[in-house]
Amino acid sequence: MDDEHAVEIFKALSNQTRVNIIQMLKDPDSNFSAQAHVIKDEGFEGGVCVSDIQSKTGISQSTTSQYLSILLQSGLVEMKRIGQWTYYRRNEKTIKQFEQYIGMNI
């Protein structure tokens, strides 16, 4: 991970609600109801529907979408459309790279 990508992640994490979303997505089974449309065969276990994230955070749908877009651009989350629903989950690979970046550079 280079400095530029790390700065993008720091910016994404500069908002408490976005941090909360990342924290809730760490354990989706405990923080959200069962995701009916995520099928194991789809290869997107741990994905949470935008509407469930919005409901849990208590912010508007448009703000939720904006925050998820910021997290997606930074690489902290992954997105997949299944039917008419959009699901997000943590991108553990990027999170590990960021953790290593911090350990080595900060």
Alpha carbon of 61 to those of 13, 15, 23, 42, 65: distances in Å? 19, 17, 19, 25, 6
User: With a threshold of 0.85, does the pTM exceed it?
Assistant: yes
Amino acid at 71: L
Inter-residue contact 66 to 81 (CB < 8 Å): no
Please report, in tens digits, the pLDDT of each residue of the chain (106 residues total).
999 999 999 999 999 999 999 999 999 999 998 887 766 656 788 899 999 999 999 999 999 999 999 999 999 999 999 888 899 999 999 999 999 999 999 9
